[in-house]
């Protein structure tokens, strides 16, 4: 399942109101979690890749499972306005390619199909891309700008779903082993 939502906020970002939405049922949430079965462990993996360029933030949330990776969401937020700043979505479904927005002297032909953003303002040109496949997690920033605050972060979560059952089985085995002596 791959659900991608790209949201472009205005310069004055308001907090989204999710109170009207019904919470997802546990069974539905289970289908959205990634995971593996390994040596009796039922493990779930999820991650968030975040890139921040000055006041613009791009977050990609994904799950990792035996079949590869699935993007759960991709969001863009812009906090506060910067005079003359233009933030443009590029790649999948945007109608704009990175090549259209890249200044002379920078070759991003290899990034043409990737979803991302371009930030242009008085500091210069900066592009950011997130790509997640079964082989790689890629967060990239290309810039000719000066005085930018650029940050990248990857948070990976691992959950062992059946740990209490495994601990109980281990305790039973220990008791059985001690009685057999």
Q: Domain limits of the chain?
A: 26-80+129-179
pLDDT at 14 (0 to 100): 42
Which candidate, 95, 20, 14, 9, places its Cα nearest to that of 59? 9
Highest mean pLDDT among 43-57, 80-94, 153-167: 43-57
- Mean pLDDT of the 67-83 span: 83
Could you tell me the pTM of the whole model?
0.67
Burial of 104 (0-12, 13-18, 19+ CB in 10 A): exposed
């Amino acid at each position: 399942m791959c659900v991608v939502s790209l949201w472009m906020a205005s310069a004055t970002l308001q907090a989204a109101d999710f109170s009207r939405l019904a919470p997802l049922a546990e069974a539905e949430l289970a289908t959205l979690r990634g995971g593996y079965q390994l040596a009796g462990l039922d493990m779930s993996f999820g991650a968030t890749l975040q890139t921040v360029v000055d006041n613009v933030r791009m977050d990609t949330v994904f799950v990792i499972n035996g079949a590869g990776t699935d993007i759960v969401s991709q969001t863009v937020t812009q906090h506060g306005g910067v005079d003359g700043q233009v933030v443009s979505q590029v790649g999948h479904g945007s109608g704009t390619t990175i090549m259209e927005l890249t200044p002379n002297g920078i070759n991003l032909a290899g990034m043409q199909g990737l979803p991302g953003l371009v930030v242009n303002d008085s500091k210069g040109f900066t592009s950011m891309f997130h790509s997640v496949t079964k082989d790689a997690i890629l967060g990239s920033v290309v810039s000719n700008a000066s005085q930018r605050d650029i940050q990248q972060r990857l948070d990976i979560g691992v959950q062992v779903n059946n740990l209490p059952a495994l601990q109980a089985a281990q305790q039973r085995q220990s008791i059985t082993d001690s009685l057999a002596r």
